[in-house]
Amino acid sequence: MADPVHGPVIELGDAADPRVDVYSRLTDAALRRRQDTVHGIYLAESSQVVRRALAAGHHPRSFFLAHRYLDSMADVFAAHPQVPVYTGTDAVLESITGFHLHRGALAAMDRPAPRTLDEVLTGARRVAVLENVSDHTNLGAIFRSAAGLGVDAILISPECADPLYRRSIRVSMGTVFGVPWARVGEADGRGRTAWPEALHGLRAQGFAVAALELSDTAVDLDSPALRDHDRLALVMGAEGPGVTAEALAACDLHVKIPMAAGVDSLNVAAASAVAFWELRPRA
């Protein structure tokens, strides 16, 4: 049915409707990664995140939401009259997605074209580099801190989680749409990865490359000399392994947040927030 306010609203009567395959089995992260990449989409989850994605200029392929949220998103549908709006009872929608939809709308969005390293580094003074951060919650939290604490760009290594996976987006509060990011060091046609060699490219662009890690040679985060760097890239590692030995060797220096009371380390997202604030450009 066509509606002047809601655009084409389509009532789903059947959980097996092939038109909404992109919303199926959303709780299976590995399956989603494959599907989303093949179909060139990502899923925006919650009405607020959908609005932020649209505000960032991303293009919706369809909307998916329970009856009770239709009115609150009427302005969005009116602005995208050609985009189908799939709706249904909670029971039908939940049997498709695999979880209770209590945050409003979902939207299948076109994945934006990947940005190049040069694009994200233009004008940047503070850059976070994430090595193998595979946890979507940590990734989203780091993006949120980066956005809120003035980090200009984020680079992610080949094994890092997807910033556009729905959990990363949600935890980031949509800041993954605003902070420029790029994946670096991916394998070339012959299967050779350029990670962590990609860090040398940063140095070539005038960045001091610092590993945020509790290594034996690490200087304290509040060392005055750290503030002298006009361009600084901060490399962070995954829970458990931390920054790899190869990446540590490719860095100019190591920086640590001194720990108290016998605590070994901070969660990587917590460490990122402390470091982003302390290492912000002062002039």
Ligand X SMILES: C[S@@+](CC[C@H](N)C(=O)[O-])C[C@H]1O[C@@H](n2cnc3c(N)ncnc32)[C@H](O)[C@@H]1O
- Catalog residues that contact ligand X under the rule CB under 6 A: 212-214, 236-237, 239-243, 256-257, 259, 264-266, 268, 271
Query: Do residues 105 and 47 make contact, with C-beta atoms less than 8 angstroms apart?
Result: yes
CB of 268 to ligand X, least distance (A): 4
CB of 121 to ligand X, least distance (A): 21
Secondary structure (3-state) at 33: helix
Helix axes 268-278, 136-148, angle to 10 degrees: 10
- Return the number of the residue (74 or 266) whose C-beta is nearest ligand X: 266
CB of 39 to ligand X, least distance (A): 33
Which is nearest to 23 in space by CA: 75, 98, 85? Answer: 98
CB of 226 to ligand X, least distance (A): 13
Which H/E stretch holds residue 9?
Answer: strand 7-11
- Return the number of the residue (152 or 213) whose C-beta is nearest ligand X: 213
Other C-beta atoms lying within 10 Å of the C-beta of residue 5? 12
Strand ranges, E, within 56-113: 60-66, 85-88, 106-110
- Return the number of the residue (75 or 222) whose C-beta is nearest ligand X: 222
Neighbouring residues of 207: CB distance < 8 A, sequence distance ≥ 6: 127, 229, 231, 232, 233
The residue with its CB nearest to ligand X is: 237
Burial of 132 (0-12, 13-18, 19+ CB in 10 A): buried
What does DSSP say about strands 2-3 and 85-88: parallel, antiparallel, or unpaired?
A: unpaired
- Return the number of the residue (26 or 243) whose C-beta is nearest ligand X: 243
CB of 145 to ligand X, least distance (A): 12
* Distance in angstroms (rounded) separating the CA atoms of residues 84 and 201: 44
- Return the number of the residue (184 or 236) whose C-beta is nearest ligand X: 236
b/e burial code for range 243-253 (CB count within 10 A of at least 16 → b): bbeebbebbeb
- Return the number of the residue (125 or 254) whose C-beta is nearest ligand X: 254
- Return the number of the residue (92 or 257) whose C-beta is nearest ligand X: 257
CB of 51 to ligand X, least distance (A): 32
CB of 174 to ligand X, least distance (A): 24
CB of 137 to ligand X, least distance (A): 13
Which is nearest to 184 in space by CA: 250, 271, 276? Answer: 250
- Return the number of the residue (36 or 131) whose C-beta is nearest ligand X: 131
